[in-house]
Amino acid sequence: MTRASVTGYARLHFGFCNLSLARERLYGSVGVGLDRPSIRVTATPAADVRCAHPTVREYAARSVDLLDVSGADLTVESEFPRHVGLGSGTQFALATLVAVARAHDETVDAREAAPELGRGGRSGIGVATFDDGGFVLDAGHPTTRFTTDRPALGRWSVPPVAARHPIPDDWRFLVVVPDASAGPSGDDEDRSMRSAVESASPSQSDRLAGGIARRGLPAITEGSAERFGAAVADVGRLNGTWYADEQGGVYRPPAGELVAALDDSPTVYGAGQSSWGPAVYGVTDAERVAAAREAGRAALDAAGVDGRVLVAEGRNRGVSVDAERRND
């Protein structure tokens, strides 16, 4: 019997390149993999699916069908909250899939299987960082195929990676997760995205694409955290104008107050909201970790909310897998 443990890691989602139906590719995401927080799922073979964690149990049932195996007994050893903007959904789905496969001494292509688990339907950042980590720009989806709605479950391919770069060793990412309502998911997210896509301006998409090409990509290639932070903060602000009607402003409250406070800190090079929030990030470096952490706490105090503050490194490799043969 094989006992397989799979660890998936959080990601930051800075925004999309395009929501306009007037352009050839829709979405196109920009993000980075982080070394924390993480989720860890452990599986052993079983006659059916056994798991106390409802999210993992659902993904395990789908994985068993996809892999055509008998079942698995799964436990969740660590996790971070869902629907806060850090990508736990994709990590749970793919970590569960790989854990079930390895428990049965099988291999599986997580990218290929992701659509069957409902992942990669808009952004490809979570799948790409699960595979390889790093800074990722994905190529989005053909607009003619997606229009305002994504295809039925499994009827899409995960967006290909258009550019990937290692995150410099001395870069750090401040993450502030306020105790606030979760971002939209499921049908609510679909409705919000449909509304944004229907009204998105192509000129704004062109401005975003130009900023990523002329500022964001050169900054990470040259290793400038300061210029990178400024570039991705602009990506977030421009994305936020698309969603303002859906989320109550350019940032989902109280993210706007947190971003404003971090923007005033000399230890943060650029701040923004990750995905639908409420998680907020700030780009900094190894020399400013302690000061950045204090800036995060001060931002929570200024907004009058509680929450969690952490500083993560970029992660330049994908998922961690530990498989142990046992004679139970």
Q: What is the pLDDT along the chain (328 residues), one digit of tens a residue?
A: 899 999 999 999 999 999 999 899 999 999 999 999 999 999 999 999 999 999 999 999 999 999 999 999 999 999 999 999 999 999 999 999 999 999 999 999 999 999 999 999 899 999 999 999 999 999 999 988 766 666 777 678 999 999 999 999 999 999 999 999 887 777 788 888 888 888 888 899 999 999 999 999 999 999 999 999 999 999 999 999 988 888 888 998 999 999 999 999 999 999 999 999 999 999 999 999 999 999 999 999 999 999 999 999 999 999 999 999 877 6
CA 104 – CA 201 distance, rounded (Å): 49
pLDDT, residue 182, reads: 80
CATH code, domain with 95: 3.30.230.120
Encode 250-266: b = buried (16+ Cβ within 10 Å), e = exposed.
bbbbbbbbbbebbeebe
pLDDT, residue 149, reads: 66
Domains in the chain, number: 1
pLDDT, residue 148, reads: 61
Question: Can you give the residue range of the structural domain that contains 30?
Answer: 2-325
pLDDT, residue 244, reads: 85
CA 66 – CA 124 distance, rounded (Å): 21
Residue 90 contacts residue 119 (beta carbons within 8 Å)? yes
CA 66 – CA 63 distance, rounded (Å): 5
pLDDT, residue 1, reads: 81
